[in-house]
Amino acid sequence: MGFYSKEYEKEMIGNVRKIIVIKPGASEREIESALREKNINISRQYIRGLLKKIHGERAWRYNNVAAKMAIAQFEDFVKFVASELIKIRTTTKSDMVKVIALDNMIKHYRSLIDLQFDMGVFERKLGTIRTEVVNIAELLKLLKDAEQEQKRDTGHIGEIESKP
């Protein structure tokens, strides 16, 4: 892919993109044939590289742009609902309705923040948990051996006396 200029590569990506928009399941051979009809002769290997770039760009766009758009729309919705809940809270005389309105505002904002954490806008700092594999049978054997040793030394199980 590094043999051609960026402008040429951009132009070829545009040509290949037009073909796969019209025929999404087009094979490399079909794309090569369609390009030849336009007097564009490029190898299937180069077409494969261009397809890889197109699919990568689509995946990036879908993962980033679409998700950010959905979160932005949800954020707008949460702000609208919050303004409506504020109106309800300020116009009602019922304490119970005020509490419910505030509770719903908190829930909506918490949902928005959770989505932003899930999207990677924020990073959770939860810490790490250290785990070790413990052999229970070995641990029980050690305890039993220690118990038997204490019986032998003192004749019974009890507290170990410290010697001065």
Residue 64's H or E segment, with its range, is none
> Could you tell me if residue 147 is inside a domain?
no
Count how many domains the chain has: 1
For residue 129, the model assigns a pLDDT of: 58
Greatest mean pLDDT among 1-10, 21-30, 58-67:
21-30
> Could you tell me if residue 129 is inside a domain?
no
Task: Give Cα separations from 88 to 75, 78, 99, 110, 112 (angstroms).
Answer: 20, 15, 11, 20, 21
- Kindly state the tokens that stand for 113: 């923040």
122-158 pLDDT, tens digit per residue, is 777 666 656 666 667 776 787 788 878 877 776 655 5
Q: What is the pTM of this model?
A: 0.47
> Could you tell me if residue 27 is inside a domain?
yes
> Could you tell me if residue 73 is inside a domain?
yes
Q: At what angle do helices 28-37 and 6-22 cross, to 10 degrees?
A: 110
**Rounded to an integer, what distance in angstroms lies between the CA atom of residue 120 and that of residue 147?**
53
Q: How many other β-carbons are positioned within 10 Å of the β-carbon of residue 160?
A: 8
> Could you tell me if residue 134 is inside a domain?
no
- Give φ, ψ of 4 to 5 degrees: -110, 160
If one compares 81 and 128, the residue with the highest pLDDT of the two is 81
Residue span of the structural domain in which 84 resides: 6-119
> Could you tell me if residue 138 is inside a domain?
no
Tracing tokens 């051979």 back to the chain, one arrives at: 29
